[in-house]
Chain A
Amino acid sequence: MSTAAATHDDHHDHHHAPTGLKRWLFSTNHKDIGTLYLWFSFAMFLAGGFMAMVIRAELLEPGMQFVDPEFFNQMTTVHGLIMVFGAVMPATVGLANWMIPLMIGAPDMALPRMNNWSFWILPFAFTILIGSVLMSAFGDGNPSAPNFGWTFYAPLSTKYGPDSTDLFILSVHMMGISSIMGAINVVVTVFNMRAPGMTLMKMPLFVWTWLITAFLLIAVIPVLAGAVTMMLTDRHFGTSFFDAAGGGDPVLFQHVFWFFGHPEVYIMILPSFGIVSAIIPAFARKPLFGYASMVYATASIALLSFVVWAHHMFTVGMPLAGTLFFMYMTMLISVPTGVKVFNWVATMWRGSMSFELPMKWAIAFVVLFTCGGLSGLMLAITPVDFQYHDTYFVVAHFHYVLVTGAIFSIFAAAYYWLPKWSGVMPNKTLGELHFWNSLISANLLFFPMHFVGLAGMPRRYADYALQFADYNFWISIGGFWFGLSQLLFLAVAVLCAMKKGEKAAAKPWDGAEGLEWEVPSPAPFHTYDTPPVVK
């Protein structure tokens, strides 16, 4: 190799990598954009978590202590919105950005400029949403922030919505545009940019689950956009989609919302299935049991998600045939989900297991996600749902699948791929502390919610009957403990970003498989400019 050519290459690289703020603002590099997404989602996780702390502080003891009920409602609403649209979804998009090109041997995402745009919309969307909370907090509740619950049912969000509802509508539109563009990018990348020999059925399961997630996003985020558009025209342009006085129907809102909302919960959990399917084989040192069945199970879950939405609204009153249909369809989802859990356990069976940090989080995911799945099965049964509906049992259910499910798996992914992203191993002591504290506190936080829910404590209230006081005290203690534990991860991530720690090898986990481990750690700015050959 001639020296001249090498110098030229250096120059070439340098030319394409601006530094400082411009590097991040104008970045079209999938790794930089992935990093932005991940840091952004963690910031949102802390912001939404802070709101959860306000909620739990108020519920620590019966009676009103810290905030008035009106502000409490704003906290539950914005906590939910931030965690769903600001923390979990961007975190999985960040993982997709970082990992999908590396996993399929592509040089970058297919549409890099759109990728930049889809990220940079998000900070503005959330500035608008959080701005409404700040105005409320510093303006003594006037104007109020959105206060109608993250599901923003009409007419609470139309006729009775505060003025800030319009800020909310705008920010949801922006988040939606960002998600749709992110999803389109994933589909185009996976369809057109795979390395030679990387057939669909050779793709890592994380790529598969994300591909299916992307299709769900493209199918339902526009429906969400439609729902908020109808809200907007109902509020300001004289239409009556959801207003009975003008011939509309508020229950229609719930149908439109949950037609989006149920696939949405799978949008949040399917990438987690892919993460866990990458990690468990690596630390059980066995190939994933039943790869093809995993792909088909994921696809079946995605398809079924379109025909179960009304299980969120059994209590609105439906013909018997309708409730039976939605009940059986919902219960049917446990079959492909069961296939997945079976496959993860079968992968571990007689494996040569070791319990590094990613594996600990992955196993916790399998156990606790299954716990959340079982309470979901209970909620699917129409007659008992009438009792559980809108109680803390539902809160317990969806926090088990979203916190100990989706978020635990995102932590698993972070610990698994941080060596590849940063070039150093995540700090073991801090990581162990983070894991054990999170595991114990999350269960202290969410498990007793089942009991108070079954005993009839309704969700979304700033106060409760005295009989629930002891449980709520311990739930709040678990909440503060869990919240503080997450600061340990901030320390882990900052240490990695500062390159402080043991240097990571190209493949730091000896059982790991996949193209992402073929490139050095940290992954160079440009990878797979020449596609690898997959046998």
Chain B
Amino acid sequence: MSEKQLSVEERNKRTLKKLLIWAVAMFGFAFLMVPFYNVICDITGLNGKTSSTAATEVPEQVVADRTVTVEFITQKGDGISGEFTSETKRVKVHPGEITLVHFYASNPTSKDMITQSIPSVTPGEAARYLHKTQCFCFDQQTLAAGERKDMPMIFYLDPEIPRHINQFTLSYTIFDVTERVAGKNNSVAVN
């Protein structure tokens, strides 16, 4: 039946249905933006997140005529009362050179604690040239009561790192995720 032969009520119903489907689809699109954003970030380093898996390839060469300064900063998220710091605050490295940096975290409380550290690189475009072969941020780290833990991180810079990046900052924020791991809801912070 063509559109013209339908009564106005019928046509209204049809248009209504189409528009409702569109509205529901756009609601779904909002959630689709989440994986889409993550993919874009992986490709472009938009949000400064470094890869969450260990690099397995060995750099082909060391670019000895270039040095890049890498700075390390550490921040403590909610629930962390102990120490979280890096042994080195800044290193000068040649792209391709494998470097080890020690981070330390402590748990002065009397309860075991599960922590997760989240990396972030500024400027974000440097993130995808930072390859870590080992990092405490790949997994959740358990800090026993009273423990001070040495958490090594081994990285190298991609020899392809663009010439204009000669300095960047790698930040780690450590969070207490004990409750989250235990399956409890992250309760709303009480002001």
Binding site for B on A (CB under 8 A): 110-111, 144, 159-163, 165, 180, 183-184, 187-188, 191-193, 218-227, 229-230, 234-238, 241, 243-247, 249, 251-252, 255-256, 259, 317-319, 322
Contacts and interface: CB of A to CB of B under 8 A. Distances in A.
Nearest to B49: A249
> What does DSSP make chain B's interface, helix, strand, loop or mixed?
helix
A529 to B, nearest CB: 13
B26 A220 contact: yes
Contacts of A234: 186
Interface residues of B, number: 46
Given A230-B34, A252-B47, A255-B37, 15 more contacts: A144-B191, A161-B188, A180-B23, A184-B20, A192-B15, A218-B22, A223-B26, A230-B31, A238-B184, A238-B185, A245-B175, A246-B116, A246-B186, A249-B49, A317-B124
A105 to B, nearest CB: 13
Contacts of B29: 222-223, 226
Contacts, number: 127
Interface string B171-183: 0010101001001
B1 interface: no
B191 A162 contact: yes
A249 B175 contact: no
A238 B180 contact: yes
B16 interface: yes
Contacts of B25: 222
A111 B12 contact: yes
B23 A223 contact: no
Contacts of B27: 222-223, 225-226
B188 A235 contact: yes
A465 B33 CA distance: 41
29 contacts: A159-B186, A161-B188, A188-B12, A188-B16, A192-B8, A218-B22, A218-B23, A222-B24, A222-B26, A223-B29, A225-B27, A229-B30, A230-B30, A230-B34, A235-B188, A238-B185, A243-B186, A244-B118, A244-B173, A245-B78, A246-B180, A249-B47, A259-B33, A317-B122, A317-B123, A319-B44, A319-B125, A322-B44, A322-B46
A111 B16 contact: yes
B54 interface: no
A28 to B, nearest CB: 14
Contacts of B34: 230, 241, 252
A93 to B, nearest CB: 16
A259 B36 CA distance: 13
Interface in B46-99: 46-49, 77-78
B39 interface: no
A222 B30 contact: yes
A170 to B, nearest CB: 15
A192 B9 CA distance: 9
Contact of A191 (B15, B22, B33, B186): B15
Contacts of A220: 26
Contacts of B145: none
Nearest to A255: B37
